[in-house]
Amino acid sequence: MTNRFYYHTAGGLCCTLLVLGLISRAGAQGKPYAGWPNYGNEGGGTRYSPASQIDRRNVGQLKPAWTYRSGALPHDPELDKKAAFEATPILVGGKLFLSTPYDHVIALNPETGAKLWEFDPQLELPYGASEVTSRGVSAWRAPRGKAGQPCALRIFIGTLDARLIALDGATGKPCSDFGSDGEVDLTSGVRLRDPGDYQVTSAPAIFKDLVITGSSMGDNRAVTVERGMVRAFDVRTGTLRWTWDPIASWAYQTTPRTGAGNAWSTISVDAGRDLVFIPTGSASPDYYGGIRKGDNQWANSVVALRASTGEFVWGFQVVHHDLWDYDVASQPTLFAWKDGTPAIAITTKMGRVFVLNRLTGAPLLPVEERPVLKSDIPGEESWPTQPESAISVVPEKLRPEDAWGIKPEERQWCADKIKAARSEGIFTPPSLQGTLVFPSNVGGVNWGSAAYDPQHHLLFMDTNRLPMFVKLIPRAEYDDARKSASDSDRLHGEFARQVGAPYGIFRSSLLSPSGLPCNAPPWGTIAAVDLFSGVKA
């Protein structure tokens, strides 16, 4: 439902932006910038640039041309612990635009790093806000005839307090004709439960005269949480043009009524075919599905919608009846397959990559439904099969003999922990004894998404290999379990009530006493796969 599990032992916030020397000199010589108009460069999220000035021969000669310090911290001590700089700047109209963890929008001169303007949204965040990050902004440009008018270049940001704001790219001032004084309240109609847990953390999508956004939600608070609606607004007026709810066909028949299935990651756009591709998360709550029986369509999916109307075109579910927090966390990648077929690659937290026909959702590389383990929790009806793709880029099982530690006693400690948990490979259901989830909800390919090289048809992915321990706690035992938790569990893990379900949860990264993962390194890799054949490079 949301972005990630927090590692409280992780390092500090990176709030420095570097632009490298050869790029700066290209601008100084009057050569045009290649540009980076969207979060993933193209609307289809390839993160590919044909710029050729920097190559293997000179990359070692690069030196920082300038550094810009955003000054994003400090803000609030408790919120700052969650803050993470995750933005990808965009380069539009000769300006570099970026956002900070607290949704300040900043415009820079790309040659010098000089600040041109900064906008402060004056966030109203409660103490318990789920996320403190922003992955970037989006840009819309008016037709050429209106280029000199105010807000001819509009910069959009979705905020942590659930507003959609339009700014003048020239000045940073709100576009007064958009919504109410430059902003739209996104909490309207979503069945808001907890202010601070309904947010926007990813850059909105732009299609013609529409700005399209999903939402981020705090995990495992309750069964009845906010609706995971995707909405399109008029870029000029802020008028709502269409709404799509991923789980509306069944969620409102449950008691209590489930929510989420939201699109917290980045939406991809195929403007020429009037399509947007929505990556959705799990229905609420993540780790118990006894109330939301069935496969929970279209949670944990990529869904193609008609961009102009929001009409459903097709959907592909990567996980049925999710019990592992396996949201589709990364932006779908749009590319042309080997015979020219419009294609889409879906990267997942499981490390599985699905390659589909972009127009129909039919697999281009094999996908098989395979039997998986059954839940032993009373009332839970886990789905009997899960889709298996032809491509997998991370390990899917962790055994006691795979345990790792810097000392023999730590290795044995980890082996004992793995042995004591239910650990039977990917899709092992949550349990009362505790289940090892590997790949975990922070495994595989997450919000950083993938990059595609069309010349060599290679997909590049930053992958995580981190196990998670998940334990269901009966409602009557939950408060005592939380009070009696060890300092280590409090530091590395989290408790969540899942109100409305018969179980709360405890989940924690599986770390040795020295604070290192219990599986052997590498804990993260760069993987490359040929999307035409499915073979790892």
Query: Among all residues, which ones are annotated catalytic?
Result: 325
d(CA 243, CA 260): 14
Q: Quote the tokens at residue 79.
A: 């919120």
CA pseudo-torsion sign 511, 514, 518, 519: positive
E-only strand ranges, 159-201? 163-168, 183-185, 198-199
DSSP state of 104: -
For residue 438, give the nearest of 516, 535, 523 by alpha carbon: 523
Instruction: Give CA angle at 324 (319, 330), nearest 5°.
Output: 60
Q: What is the largest CA-CA distance in the chain?
A: 72
> Which tokens hold the place of 238?
């802020």
List the 301-306 sheet strands across, edge first.
268-270, 275-279, 301-306, 312-317
Those residues with Cβ within 8 angstroms of residue 490's Cβ, 6 or more apart along the chain or in another chain: none
Side-chain-side CA neighbours of 208 within 13 Å: the count stands at 13
84 has which bridge partners?
133
Q: Which residue has the tokens 């969650």?
A: 82
User: Whole-angstrom Cα distance, residue 253 to residue 265?
Assistant: 27
CA distance 165 to 159: 8
